[in-house]
Amino acid sequence: MKKNFVLFFLFSVIILLTGCKKPDEVQKVPEKSDIESKESKSDSSRQVIEKDIYEGLYVKNINASSFRDCRHPDSLYWVTDKTKTLEGLYNKLFTDANVYNSVVVKVKGEMVPTETAGLIDMYPRTLMVKEVLSVEKKNPDNTCVPYNFWGSGNDPKWSVQISETENLIELDVPSEKKIYNFFYAERKEENGEIKYSNYNTVQRSMIEVVFKKQICKDSLSGKTYDYSVNVNLNGGKNFIGCAIKGSAQ
């Protein structure tokens, strides 16, 4: 009887000890989702607004590194390039560097609030580039930012772009390895012609671009267009060709 009592007592003690361990003392192996959640919370210094693939116009010069998104063409964003390759690819496309040159880029990145005090007013958000997918020279087929007119001609080969959205009148003459840039100016219409003109004080150049609605045939491709264009540079050089009307009208 005494022996049975001792066994019963020992058995009761064992049950009591094993049952007293609190649930929160049990060790739990953290799941992957828990770890990722903690890691994301630890980077509290930066708020990611968007994470996506971005396509638009990129400009790099001494004063700016900006991006104009195809989805929001009226907004400008500052650019920081984590790959350290975007600027080099940009420079390879231009033999004559200036503050206006833009290229069409497609990148992977994150959109975050701009933190640099001197940039916040003009660029409230910053595009952090994580991967460069493509960099191309701008043309009427690949640009997604609205333009007013785009004209071109041959002998020598040249092109002109009028864009109120980008605030520019741009004449590209590859044979001269030269791009002439002017700020956008309101058009004037008279005698069935649409005229744009302006003066660049830095390049010391003057331009007048005249579009006329009439059938125009490209001298090389034979393709027909709805507009003809005549560009006069500095009161002397004339460039004659055909043009297409854009959506920014």
What pLDDT was estimated at residue 46? Answer: 61
Percent of the chain with pLDDT over 70: 79
What pLDDT was estimated at residue 45? Answer: 53
Alpha carbons 204 and 233: distance in angstroms, whole number: 11
What pLDDT was estimated at residue 124? Answer: 94
For the cut 50, the answer to whether the pLDDT of residue 149 exceeds it is yes
CATH topology of domain 50-137: OB fold (Dihydrolipoamide Acetyltransferase, E2P) (2.40.50)
Alpha carbons 53 and 105: distance in angstroms, whole number: 10
User: Where do the domains of the chain lie?
Assistant: 50-137, 149-245
Q: What is the pLDDT of residues 60-84, one digit of tens each?
A: 988 889 999 999 998 999 999 999 9
Average pLDDT over residues 181-191: 94
**What's the chain's average pLDDT?**
83
When pLDDT is cut at 50, 70 and 90, the band that residue 111 belongs to is very high
CA angle 169, 174, 179 (to 5 degrees): 30
Six-digit token string for 123: 């660029």
